[in-house]
Structure 1
Amino acid sequence: MSEPHHRLEALEQTYGELLALCDGLETVADSLPHAVTPRMCLTLAASLEPLVARTHRLEEEGLFPLLEASQGRQWGPTLARLRAEHLADQSATAEVSEALHDLGNGRSALSPDAMGYLLRSFFDSMRRHVQSEQELIAMARRDPGNAPD
């Protein structure tokens, strides 16, 4: 199996982890202002940035080369947009991670409503990201020029 295809398998597994993390963020958002355990917030905060970074790396090393190799499609503008979105995602991820860390340590500067909004905006965006990238993976796999070696 070629390297990009192997990375796609790892990427799909990472998407599952990212979606599970989004479920955890939704649990926190749903339970505000009560029943939020500091441990859960701190665990999510610690996991978030490394997981998003790994997801982006696997997309850039696995999915993007397959899209570039696709027959009959010009992916340049789409890939440039996706790379720019990765930068925006990294910034949002850092903000959410910091807010969760503060919440877990009992010193959140955000109101429960603001924290809930921040979390919902983030996990909704991440879920859309995953869905969009999964559609791109399916398109790349259907391309005869991208058959596994």
Structure 2
Amino acid sequence: MTLPNRPIEALEQSYAELLALCDGLEEVADTLPHDVSPRICLTLAAGLEPLIAQMHGLEEEALFPLLEASQSPQLSQTLARLRHENLADQSTAAEVSEALHDLGTGRSALSPDAMGYLLRSFFESMRRHVQSERELIAMVPPTASDGGR
């Protein structure tokens, strides 16, 4: 995959990919306990952690400098919270990826209800993450360093 040159465009592309992955997670959750596709589970499991890492890297490159440049105390607090949340997201993504892998290989130790809850809580959290980050991007004026977005 080739990322766009402009950091905000690359971040938006990453968000679109994450939302598509969330749709896949929702599809798996909706098919539990029957009709779960092992292939889809394994594909989602393999792509989840790299996509989260890519997205967080792009946030560090594109969004966080905009927040730092604003010199707003509220945005400084927001930035600290976002960095903390990103660490939590990475940990949860690893847990979800492992659970999907186990489900895809037929070795899930989780009940269908527990698996559904895990998937739903994760994809709902990621959708909220994308929405709030997009709102921040819209609120912070572009700078010369972001290539005009």
TM-score with structure 1 length normalisation?
0.90
Conserved? CA contact 2:22–2:127, under 8 Å: yes
| Cα distance, 1:6 vs structure 2 | 1.3
Q: Which secondary structure does the structure 1 equivalent of 2:6 belong to? A: helix
Structure 2 CA distance, aligned partners of 1:127 and 1:76? 23
Q: Which secondary structure does the structure 2 equivalent of 1:134 belong to? A: helix
Structure 2 residue aligned with 1:24: 24
Q: Count residues in correspondence.
A: 141
Structure 2 CA distance, aligned partners of 1:76 and 1:105? 44
Letter in 1 for 2:89: D
Structure 2 residue aligned with 1:146: 143
Paired residues for 1:99-114 under 5 Å: 99-114=99-114
Structure 1 CA distance, aligned partners of 2:118 and 2:68? 34
| Cα distance, 1:76 vs structure 2 | 1.8
Letter in 2 for 1:62: A
Q: Which structure 2 segments of 5+ residues have no match?
A: none
Q: State yes or no: 1:73 paired with 2:45.
A: no
| Cα distance, 1:46 vs structure 2 | 0.1
Identity level (%): 74
Aligned-pair Cα RMSD in Å: 1.5
Q: State yes or no: 1:120 paired with 2:120.
A: yes
Structure 2 residue aligned with 1:49: 49
Q: Which structure 1 segments of 5+ residues have no match?
A: none
What's the CA shift string for 1:11-65, capped at 9, x where partnerless? 0011000000000000000000011111000000000000000000100111010
Structure 1 CA distance, aligned partners of 2:38 and 2:31? 12
| Cα distance, 1:146 vs structure 2 | 2.4
